[in-house]
Structure 1
Amino acid sequence: MTIKYEWRGDFGNAALNALHADGFDHPVAQTDWRERLERRSLGWVCAWEDGSLIGFVNVVWDGGVHAFILDTVVARHRRASGIGAALVATAAHEARAAKCEWLHVDFEEHLRSFYFDACGFKETAAGLIAL
Structure 2
Amino acid sequence: MTPATEYTWRGPFADADVNALHAEGFGHPLLDDAWGAQVARHSLGWVTAVQDGELVGFVNVAWDGGVHAFLLDTLVRADRRRTGIGRALVEAAVAGARQSDCEWLHVDFDEHLRGFYLDECGFTSTGAGLVALR
Match in the other structure for 2:19 = 17
Aligned residue in 1 for 2:113: 111
3-state SS of 2:73 partner: strand
Instruction: Tell me how large the CA RMSD over aligned residues is.
Output: 0.8
The amino acid across from 1:123 in the alignment is S
1:99 aligns with 2:108: no
TM-score, with structure 1 as normaliser:
0.97
What SS class does the counterpart of residue 45 from structure 1 fall into?
Answer: strand
- Equivalent residue for 1:126, pick from 120, 125, 128: 128
Q: How does 1:22-101 map to 2 (within 5 A)?
A: 22-101=24-103
C-alpha distance in 1 between matches for 2:26 and 2:53: 21
Distance 2:84 2:27 in 1: 20
Structure 1 residue ranges (4+ consecutive) displaced by more than 2 angstroms after TM superposition = none
Alpha-carbon distance in structure 2 between the residues aligned to 1:48 and 1:119: 20
Q: TM-score scaled to structure 2, two decimals?
A: 0.95
Listed as ranges, the gaps of 5+ residues in structure 1 are none
Deviations 1:79-98 (A, max 9, x none): 01111011011001010101
Question: How far 1:103 moved relative to its partner?
Answer: 0.5
The runs of 5 or more residues in structure 2 that have no matched partner are: none
Among all aligned residue pairs of Structure 1 and Structure 2, give the percentage whose two residues are the same amino acid. Answer: 60
Question: 3-state SS of the aligned residue for 1:127?
Answer: coil
State the secondary structure of the residue aligned to 1:107. Answer: coil
